Amino acid sequence: MSRSRIRSLDTRLANQIAAGEVVERPSSVVKEALENSLDANARHIGIDIESGGTKLIRVRDDGLGIDQEDLTLALARHATSKIASIDDLEAVATLGFRGEALASIASVARLSLTSNASDDASAGLCAASEGRDMQVSVRPAPHPRGTTLDVRDLFYNTPARRKFLRTEKTEFNHIEEVVKRQALARPEVGFVLRHNGKTIHSLKPAIDQVALERRVASVCGPAFMEQAVPIERSAGDLSLRGWVGLPTFSRSQADLQYFFVNGRVIRDKLIAHAIKQAYRDVLFHGRHPAYVLFFELDPARVDVNVHPTKHEVRFRDGREIHGFIFSTLNRALAELRPGSDSATSSVLVDSQITEPQFDNPPVQRPMALMTRDANFADKDRHTFVAQQTSLARLYGGTGSASRAGQWADHASSAISNTADMPYTEAEVPPLGFALAQVHGVYILAQNTAGMVLVDMHAAHERITYERLKRMRDDSGVRAQPLLVPQSLAVSAKEVAVVEEGQEALAQLGFLVDVTGEEQLTIREIPIALAQANIEQLLRDVLSDLVEYGTSDRMAAHMDELLSTMACHGSVRANRRLTVPEMNALLRDMEHTERSGQCNHGRPTWVQLTMTELDKLFLRGR
């Protein structure tokens, strides 16, 4: 390759290179235009699309408008009204700020920008530019206060880029998703989306909580709102609010996940990891949670200038942010149990779930259910106590026989500890009272709403699992020294993480010494994981600490062990339970965290209302 001289790129080529970063497809144009409209304090925005955005994209708003002397400059590169100094850049509070979008769009399309910053509708101006020569022409154009952006024939002068576009339907679906995100981020703004002259969405401004919930339901579907848990928590300058779907309302793909940081929709590995970790114990494998969450913090604590499309951000203190989001969602999901506001249970489906409402008159419970005694059969009790004694010794050490015995006694009451709770006729609990056992697998119960079906093994598995976790947490993680310390070659970055995180590793049961610039020595490991691949586990922990500042690998491995023990220590299918035993299991479910799902994320109970039962038998028709 021959050597050539360094020279400046001409304006057109530079803008087209920038367009390759900013304008990936028609939806990128819509995103940039909507951000400008929202930054201009628009309250109503209309979006007209033709041919999936390749023929026409028109975005019209009633915002502040652009002054006449600034209209031409709006189409120039690196021209913006939103930042003026490095201090502004470090605390960006607007959606758009780079000053690249309009110039980049104009370089690959025929663009016209009509705006008016006054109340005189005849005072508008239109600035037009085409990709060939990038010259801007300005002419008078009557326009009410606000701005209209017209983009025609996208990529007409870059045919190679146009070949990468998908079908009209696919491109419009991307545009629709962009509009949905902005409609969720700014519920106080009205949006109208039309495609080829047909109105697809007409969203009125949401001025109160009811209207806000209606906006979310219209974007995410009514089934999401019916099976969502409201979230609201503040700590210092951190605030998280919104909705997370019940674990049973999971998705086959991550297509209903909206996370906003200071009103900006973002995709961030740190956030995704925190949410995934919060759902780890309750989500069925291979499924994805659904959520709409709004996170607010001081703009100076987040850098939004790390990606050309501004989809990614970087937090100044990622560990604190991760911990705040995880703890908030984990606590909210843990509180889900029968009788809580959002604890309704349903099968695993993606959409069209109609959840019953508890509005039917109370049903009298049978008098036969007044007597309650929930002792295990001797054989089952003996097996259960033996398993829990083994676990107690595992966490408490071989010299803690008395402590192990106390744990075994405590664990053996997994079903029986609520047997003596009295009830009056008017106090029907959320899961009602047991009527019968179906094929030795399900408990049939009656509550005020109708009929309840409970998977007795799955329910008891969760109850036992939560008790075992509490016992583990009460005693802490016990460590044991290795007879032969194990050396481990790692990177210099991982060595630095170990030096800074000795206390965190010790809490996980690890004693790790730095014995070289790129070498570690493992001296103590958790007793509970003595049979695990310790080297690989420590590498995974260090990888998490490097990337996220925290790790749940140890807890996950320990929980897997406890889950297995809980599974073997729970009542099995085809075991006959007495009515009092079934009732005791229902009461334990009502007092156990996360009891809506078993350890593997399967639902533990299903409600059928009287209305649903009547429909099955065509009653009232």
Secondary structure in 3-state letters for 513-562:
EEEECCEEEEEEEEHHHCCCCHHHHHHHHHHHHHHHCCCCHHHHHHHHHH
Q: Is the pLDDT of residue 218 over 70?
A: yes
pLDDT by residue (tens digit) across 237-274? 999 999 999 998 889 999 999 999 999 998 888 999 99
Give the N- to C-terminal CA distance of the chain in Å, as an integer: 84
**pLDDT, mean of residues 157-176:** 92
Residues of the chain with CATH 3.30.565.10: 11-203
- Give the pLDDT confidence score for residue 444 in this predicted structure: 96
pLDDT band at 380 (very low <50, low <70, confident <90, very high): very low
Q: State residue 342's pLDDT score.
A: 55
Task: Kindly report, as residue ranges, where domains of CATH 3.30.1370.100 are found in the chain.
Answer: 479-554
Q: What's the predicted TM-score (pTM) here?
A: 0.74
9 against 449, higher pLDDT? 449
- Express each pLDDT in 561-607 by its tens digit: 677 767 766 777 778 889 999 999 999 999 999 999 988 888 999 99
Residue ranges of E strands in 236-319 = 238-245, 257-261, 264-265, 291-296, 302-303, 314-315
The β-bridge partners of 455 are 442
Residues of the chain with CATH 3.30.1540.20: 367-473+566-616
The CATH code for residues 479-554 is 3.30.1370.100
Domain 221-334 part of CATH 3.30.230.10: yes
In the predicted model, what is the mean pLDDT of residues 132-156?
89
HSE-up (13 A, CA, CB side) for residue 604? 30
Give pLDDT, residue 607: 93
Instruction: CATH 3.30.230.10 in the chain: give the residue spans.
Output: 221-334
> What does the pLDDT read at residue 37?
95
| Sheet with 228-235, edge to edge strand ranges | 228-235, 238-245, 291-296, 257-261, 264-265
Determine how many CB atoms are found less than 10 A away from the CB of residue 66: 24
Architecture of domain 11-203: 2-Layer Sandwich (3.30)
Does residue 379 surpass a pLDDT of 70? Answer: no
173 pLDDT band, cuts 50/70/90, is very high
The model's confidence at residue 81, banded by pLDDT at 50, 70 and 90, is confident
Please report, as a single letter, which amino acid is at residue 487: S
Per-chain mean pLDDT for the chain: 81
Give me the count of residues in the chain. 621
Packing angle of the helix pair 553-568, 456-475 (nearest 10 deg): 130
Kind plus residue range of the DSSP H or E element containing 48: strand 44-50
Q: How confident is the model at residue 401 (pLDDT cuts 50, 70, 90)?
A: very low
Q: What is the 3-state secondary structure (H, E, C) of 155-205?
A: CCCCHHHHCCCCCHHHHHHHHHHHHHHHHHHCCCCEEEEEECCEEEEEECC
Domain 367-473+566-616 sits in which CATH superfamily?
A: MutL, C-terminal domain, dimerisation subdomain (3.30.1540.20)
Token pair belonging to 420: 């003596």
